[in-house]
Structure 1
């Protein structure tokens, strides 16, 4: 009788091309585990072609979606995009930065008060990777000397440019060399594909830029002209030129506040009637024509609109209790309360303290749809 154990037969290799088709259907955390099985799997997962394949599958298949909650004071929280709003990522970059846009699972981070020497990062929380971008021309010694003591302001915008299949960071400097002189513009554009910056021309003649939004390869800001008029300026990363868009027109005696947002891949602007506690929601249609979607009476119950979910519903923060509502623009009413025991107020643990509540009201809040991706996994320059 032979007591020797039978020899193991080698496992036949899978047909070529089948591994990527299997892996692309997996959530990021399971894909990362598969790297440890064998070297051939590791090479497949780290290839740029598979990273793109996985991302496109997540987009087209409408897999699980997330919401990025963030503020202008360096706080982040990523939750499932449903009424339970469960915490999905509790890891934060080891830097005190604020976000300047998110796309493809990447978040652009830099200083809240931008300087020509501010470092810029791309952060992928799903794979816990933070990439430091190379310095742009603003960092050069000639800029430090030329602009020392003069008035200048910087703004960043980040997003995806579908016409070149690339992720871009647009860095805009507006400056004035002499008192009462014309405001001038300098623009640098970063390409993730080439990992480099490019200086482009541009003329804004604006003295102030708001927080931007990036849609289909173009960055949008609410800008203040030198004579005080407010407009929207658009920088298209394909033709690398600025153009101006008129804001919705009002005839009122009080000051209006404007905020740009993305709504279903279209430009959206919130118009805040502060004395009335009302916010109008406008969406840009073809040929730069505005269409008013609705007016929301905040009524001392809600804070300013934070942004939109993947389903197009708006997120509002509740002022009298720690929670959020999902507002249906078509039905003009709040449909869901987004509550979770782990939905902390952007990193605050003690959410019952009045002091904490008061400090929260001094912040500006944002919500953006977010999705997992493997972008930057093939990047040797991350850390």
Structure 2
């Protein structure tokens, strides 16, 4: 990160007429979270200016100014391979292998050239490189303790990023990439706070911001006291990142989220409408409704999407469909419990759904399996009075009625 007063003065003296690019300020840490959807803001408002998808949901992500154009963009890390993009949402401009897959990595402008590069942390030892390439570290030093939480920023405005150690609500800031004592120590916020780093007011010095839920408390000084800005942004569950997304020298916020599923395709919408029509006229299991849609010419994938979409929206309850199907069967003939369950299973209902229907009928008193045996016996005997008792009992048992219920039914017929 550059010393802006000196650079602007030089530009004025030589009269080049060229605009001096402001350095983008990275907070140094891995963004964290998951998702491929990013919503970045160029100002302290609640509406994102940049909305795009990038990388994979599981990627490890960093933000930084990789080419010195004054704007932060993203980098994706997969193992020890890094994919650096110089635009928001664009393809990787640079791909490098660096360090080990298990390394903790920090981002910063370590030499003041306006470009962010990487540093590897292993315990309390830091390996700093000044270019986006492999090879040996430019600087190696020890700082703090192996268990420290570490932040990166330009604390004194000299254009170079250095480290700070956080222990609870106490922060130890160093102005050089060496060991030794901290240059300044402050207490800020609460030990439970989530903290971001950035140059929030374009004075070339990084300071802290505290996040509590979706409320951000921005300070423009490395000291205690009230926040300079209090801003609600995004959701309490968001993963937040900070950066200068438009090159105006001010760091602002962005959030990372899992990309929300897009809406159904035209074919899927047609399948959804057809599924609703079928359900309005009859009762179906999930597999039965899918088969009906496929028989009518709907592709299997679209049929499955439509049926599951209706279920996810609460428009169909498969237990309820099983119960209504059971009612339909019972209106036509008498059933044993086993036979009615088999019919429901043949229609595609799961064991759980079939049992749910049967249990409801039993618990509500709407079914008496012994009386169903009597009704079944009447159906057989009324059609053919030549049945003997033994033949009728055997037939009822074969249909799943218990022996006692079958004999009871024969008794009711006077056999």
> Taking structure 1 as the reference length, what is the TM-score of the superposition?
0.44
Larger Rg: 2
> Taking structure 2 as the reference length, what is the TM-score of the superposition?
0.41
Q: Per chain length, whose mean CA-contact separation is higher, i.e. which structure has more relative contact order (CA < 8 Å, sep 6+)?
A: 1
Task: Select the structure that is richer in strand.
Answer: 1
